Amino acid sequence: MKRSVIGLASLAAALLCLASPQAVRADEGAGQLGSSNSREAAQGFSPEALRVMTSSLTPLPSIGARSAVVMDATTGTILFAKNPDMPIPPASLTKLVTLHVVYNEIAAGRLRKDELVTIDARDCSPYIPYGSSLMYLHPGMKVSVLDLMQGAAVVSGNDAAYALARRVAGSNEAFAVLMNKAVRDLGFTSMHFVEPSGLSELNMVTAREYALFCRRYMELHPEAIAELHSVRYIEFPRPEHETPDFKPKGRIIQYNRNSLVLGYEGCDGLKTGYIIESGYNLSATAKRGNSRFLIVTLGGPESGAYGGGAARRSKDGSSLLDWCFANFETLSPDLGPVGPVKVWYGKDKALPLIAGTSLAVTLPHSASGRLEARVVLPTSIDAPVAAGQRIGEVVYSVGDTVVKRVDLLAGQDIAKGNVFIVIRDAFAKLLSRIFG
């Protein structure tokens, strides 16, 4: 998991090449790259070098959340972190893990999006706490799995999360077991859940792991942004959801609870959350051009200068995204053909290659015009070769400074060939060395 995050030491080096010492102010580095709040801060650089490095960025906005992580969603580069390992209840951000489990069930063939779920009375008001978020399910309704997924994602329906959990696992408690297994399978150790909605303060995450989880969620379920998180509103209940005891009255529109989806350019997800024990939480992602950034803020204050906790949460989110787009961009240099590599003594003669991590690079705007990429590969390799074996690398540099290296790995196993192949290739290899 950690290999996918570009070290900020490399990013620092790129910035050092470009920053102007005359522009340095003593207070500009606080809370940005290289701050003591970030485990991803550049290491091995002098305090003076770090001050020069951060001087090329615009000042980071002040935020009210107790914990935050700002990330390039494509490369995994953490651009800013504030108390990133502080455990905080995620509130309704929990529902993203619930949806991850549901998507896994669909992929496994145990669930279909068009399947109709009969709603259990235990998953409706008044069994769910008064005043909590609902999509307004009623006992006996027959609601599609996709409608329930949208109810959980768009309007943060606790009833929708409960109904999905009951359909998949029989109870909230049994579903929580699946949630914990799912996050452990992805390598996350600080995330823990006791139920699927986020109402419990015993659910727990950190901003760092939750941001990394959001990135994996978008990679594993690319359809989720379009069919769930960017949806501006849902119409529910509809006439087909009528029951003997309930009849919908007119057209009922429920809007996305993430106000950034409704009003911030490029924002297409993900989730908001609030319970008293956590404060105001947010995970948001926005894409402009080739750059997609992801932010997570946890523990936002109940009130503030912007008209209350929810308004402050949205203001902090938009300010952090503004900072990202103002300072950074995601670049994907054209590498040309990469591989295959010739194989000697193998059952196959050519080895396809795969990248160990993203081939994109996060850089400040000031460095983007100087980015160069170089592919380093052997001309040939001897069998046997194991899938995943490191064969070469792509080296990215700004000027004389390397900012990122990406391993190029064997895309498949290649076993050693029979005696005839070994003798043939030994002779051919000798001739190639003699005659070039």
Confidence of residue 308 (pLDDT cuts 50, 70, 90): confident
**What is the structure's pLDDT at 130?**
73
Same domain, 55 and 100: no
* Domain CATH code at residue 381: 2.60.410.10
Q: Kindly indicate the confidence band of residue 192, based on its pLDDT and cuts at 50, 70 and 90.
A: very high
Residues 284, 408 within the same domain: no
Same domain, 215 and 143: yes
Domain annotation covers residue 66: no
Same domain, 311 and 345: no
Per-residue pLDDT averaged across 314-327, rounded? 96
- Kindly state whether residue 39 falls inside one of the protein's structural domains: yes
What is the pLDDT confidence band of residue 150, given thresholds at 50, 70 and 90?
very high
**Has residue 325 been placed in a domain?**
no
Same domain, 159 and 242: yes
298 and 363 together in one domain: no
* SS3 annotation, the chain: CHHHCCCHHHHHHHHHHHCCHHHCCCCCCCCCCCCCCCCCCCCCCCHHHHHHHHCCCCCCCCCCCCEEEEEECCCCCEEEEECCCCCECCHHHHHHHHHHHHHHHHHCCCCCCCCEEECCHHHCCCCCCCCCCCCCCCCCCEEEHHHHHHHHHCCCCHHHHHHHHHHHHCCHHHHHHHHHHHHHHCCCCCCECCCCCCCCCCCEECHHHHHHHHHHHHHHCCHHHHHHHCCCEEECCCHHHCECCECCCCCCEEECCCHHHHHCCCEEEEEEEEECCCEEEEEEEEEECCEEEEEEEEEECCCCCCCCHHHHHHHHHHHHHHHHHHHEEEECCCCCCCCCEEEECECCCEECEEECCCCCEEEEHHHHCCEEEEEECCCEEECCECCCCEEEEEEEEECCEEEEEEEEEECCCECECCHHHHHHHHHHHHHHHHHC
Q: Total domain count for the chain?
A: 3
Structural domain including 307 reads 91-316
Residue 78 belongs to a domain: no
Band of residue 307 on the pLDDT scale cut at 50, 70, 90? low
pLDDT value at residue 218? 98
Please indicate, yes or no, if residue 64 is contained in any of the structural domains.
Answer: no
Assess whether 106 and 239 both reside in one domain: yes
pLDDT value at 303 more than 90? no
**What are the tens digits of pLDDT across the range 10-67?**
344 344 333 322 222 222 222 344 333 333 333 233 343 334 345 578 889 999 999 9
In a domain, 73, yes or no: no
Shared domain check, 265 and 144: yes
pLDDT of residue 223: 98
Residues 285 and 382 in one domain: no
Last residue of a domain, which of 19, 42, 59? 59
Shared domain for 277 and 347, answered yes or no, is no
Quick one: 269 and 170 in the same domain? yes
Using 50, 70 and 90 to split pLDDT, how confident is the model at 279? very high
Shared-domain flag, residues 239 and 143: yes
For residues 169 and 177, give the distance between their C-alpha atoms in angstroms, rounded to a whole number. 9
Residue 328 lies in a domain: no
Q: Identify the weakest region by mean pLDDT among 40-54, 109-123, 271-285.
A: 40-54
Q: Tens of pLDDT along 235-258?
A: 999 999 999 999 998 899 999 999
Does the residue 86 lie in any domain?
no
